[in-house]
Structure 1
Amino acid sequence: MFDARLFIEVFITLFVIMDPPGTVPIFLGLTSAMTHKQRARAARTAIFVAAGVILAFSIFGQQLLTYMHISIPALQASGGVLLFLISMELLTGKMEEPQASSKNVNVALVPLGTPLLAGPGAIVASMLFVQRADGDARSLVSIFVGFVLVCVCLWVAMRFASVVHRILGEGGTLLVTRIAGLLLAAIAVQLIADAVIAFVQTA
Structure 2
Amino acid sequence: MSGVVDLTLLATTFFTLFVIMDPLGTVPVFLGLTSRMTAAQRRRAARQATAVAFGVILVFSLFGQYILSFLQISLPALQLSGGLLLLLVAMELLMGWGRQPEPEDGAAPVNVALVPLGTPLLAGPGAIVAAMLAVQDADGEVPGWVAIAVALVAVHLCLWLAMRFSVVIHRVLRDSGTTLVTRLAGLLLAAIAVQLMADAVFALVEQGP
TM-score range, shorter chain: 0.5 to 0.7
Return the letter of the residue paired with 1:157: A
Q: Which residue of 2 aligns with 1:58?
A: 61
Q: Which residue of 1 aligns with 2:4?
A: 6
Q: How does 1:143-182 map to 2 (within 5 A)?
A: 146-147=150-151, 149-150=153-154, 151-168=156-173, 172-173=174-175, 175-182=176-183
Change (3 A) 1:95 1:49: same
Q: Which residue of 1 aligns with 2:79?
A: 73
1:129 to 133, 138, 150: 138
Secondary structure at 1:131's aligned position in 2?
coil
Change (3 A) 1:56 1:125: same
RMSD: 3.9
Q: Which residue of 2 aligns with 1:120?
A: 129
Distance 1:88 1:99 in 2: 26
Q: Which residue of 2 aligns with 1:136?
A: none
Deviations 1:151-172 (A, max 9, x none): 334422332233212445xxx2
Distance 1:50 1:187 in 2: 22
Kindly indicate whether the alpha-carbon contact (under 8 Å) linking 1:30 and 1:90 is maintained by their aligned counterparts in 2. no
Alignment gaps of 5+ in structure 2: none
Q: Which residue of 2 aligns with 1:186?
A: 187
Kindly indicate whether the alpha-carbon contact (under 8 Å) linking 1:45 and 1:113 is maintained by their aligned counterparts in 2. no
Return the letter of the residue paired with 1:156: L
1:110 aligns with 2:111: no
Kindly indicate whether the alpha-carbon contact (under 8 Å) linking 1:27 and 1:158 is maintained by their aligned counterparts in 2. yes
Secondary structure at 2:32's aligned position in 1?
coil
Q: After alignment, is 31-40 or 159-168 more displaced? A: 31-40
User: Under a length normalisation based on structure 2, what TM-score does the superposition of the two structures give?
Assistant: 0.64
Change (3 A) 1:130 1:49: farther
User: Under a length normalisation based on structure 1, what TM-score does the superposition of the two structures give?
Assistant: 0.66
Kindly indicate whether the alpha-carbon contact (under 8 Å) linking 1:54 and 1:122 is maintained by their aligned counterparts in 2. yes
Return the letter of the residue paired with 1:66: S
Q: Which residue of 2 aligns with 1:33?
A: 32
Aligned length: 189
Return the letter of the residue paired with 2:63: F
Distance 2:179 2:103 in 1: 17
Kindly indicate whether the alpha-carbon contact (under 8 Å) linking 1:79 and 1:191 is maintained by their aligned counterparts in 2. no
1:49 to 47, 52, 66: 52
Alignment gaps of 5+ in structure 1: 134-138
Distance 1:62 1:197 in 2: 22
Distance 1:90 1:99 in 2: 20
Distance 1:47 1:69 in 2: 32
Kindly indicate whether the alpha-carbon contact (under 8 Å) linking 2:10 and 2:150 is maintained by their aligned counterparts in 1. yes
What's the % identity of the aligned pairs?
Answer: 24
Q: CA deviation at 1:50?
A: 3.3
Distance 1:78 1:39 in 2: 34
Q: Which residue of 1 aligns with 2:200?
A: 199
Kindly indicate whether the alpha-carbon contact (under 8 Å) linking 1:45 and 1:108 is maintained by their aligned counterparts in 2. yes
Q: CA deviation at 1:192?
A: 3.7
